Amino acid sequence: MNNVDQIITTYLPKMPDASVAQRDISLLIAAALERSLSWVKAFSDQALSQQQVISICEHLERRIKGEPVAYILGEWEFYSLPFKVTPDTLIPRPETELLVERVLAIIADLDQPSVLDLGCGSGAIAVAIKQQRPDALVSAVEYSEAALLVAKANAERNKTDINFLQGSWFEPVNTGERFDVIVSNPPYVAQDDPHLSQGDLLFEPRTALTAGDNEFSDISIICHQAPSFLSPHGVLLIEHGYSQKQKVQQLFAENGLLRVITHQDYSRVDRFTEGWLA
């Protein structure tokens, strides 16, 4: 193997996810060569040095073993913004962009809206909202110190000023503080879900994926405490699993939230629920 075409021919059948294999290989080759995707395509027949081939193969071998492309690259795009990602954070998903879009729609007519992102991870949701609405007062809570460092780095990278707090859910938030919108993508995967041992989930932080014995435990905490931190007519939005709509809507209603509705993602799968404070 001494050019990109030959490397692709060799490694394409070995990629773990055939549906995105071509994309993954191109991204990893571009990163290894420190070139653009357009360069990789235009000069795929150009001879490479031995060191370049070695570097590319090292990247591709990691992917063959299942490691997510985002972790190999050390970054991923979300809402057209670059985000640093590490094994301490979840990889931002396209579906979560819909959550951001809904928040932006809710606060569209508000002057200096206040937004709280609970369990911010890499900071993707908070940073995307602040980048689109520089006037918004955005706070973000994260329990993991390592993840919080990543989130702060992403806020700085994307030139967004966010109030970061370390702690569990509402614990570090001032008691008298109120928010127009509270948004969260909490752990909600059942701990015995077989998907946890497959694909990217196998490499992502388990505590960010599953709440333990009760998959609704973190969602329950957020639903119970959120009304005390919402402004009048404030809104709570929580991302959840495809089969959890009924239980999540029940938790919203039990805690006094009205106009409860569940939104679907690009695949028309139930993805996040919103509820309004009277």
Confidence band, pLDDT 50/70/90 cuts, at residue 223: very high
- % of the chain with per-residue pLDDT over 90: 85
Cα gap 177→80, rounded to integer Å: 31
| pLDDT for residue 49 is more than 70 | yes
Q: What integer best gives the mean pLDDT of the chain?
A: 94
pLDDT at position 157: 97
- Domain over 88-276 is classified CATH 3.40.50.150: yes
Token readout for 264 is 């679907």
Q: pLDDT tens digits, residue range 198-217?
A: 777 777 777 777 877 788 99
Q: pLDDT tens digits, residue range 4-46?
A: 999 999 999 999 888 899 999 999 999 999 999 999 999 999 9
pLDDT at position 62: 95
pLDDT at position 210: 80
| pLDDT for residue 277 is more than 90 | yes
Cα gap 82→181, rounded to integer Å: 24
Confidence band, pLDDT 50/70/90 cuts, at residue 269: very high
Binding-site residue positions for substrate: 185-188
Token readout for 10 is 């060799």
Note the pTM of the prediction, 2 decimals. 0.92
Higher pLDDT, 66 or 222: 222
| CB-based contact 37:81 (threshold 8 Å) | no
Q: pLDDT tens digits, residue range 166-199?
A: 999 999 999 999 999 999 999 988 776 776 667 7
State the DSSP H helix or E strand holding residue 261, giving kind and residue range, or none if neither. Answer: strand 258-264
Cα gap 151→161, rounded to integer Å: 11
- % of the chain with per-residue pLDDT over 70: 97
pLDDT at position 120: 97
| pLDDT for residue 52 is more than 80 | yes
Binding-site residue positions: 119-123, 142, 169, 185-188
Binding-site residue positions for S-adenosyl-L-methionine: 119-123, 142, 169, 185
Cα gap 150→165, rounded to integer Å: 13
Dihedral (Cα; 214, 218, 219, 220), 10-degree rounding: 80
Q: Where are the domains of the chain?
A: 4-66, 88-276
pLDDT at position 197: 63
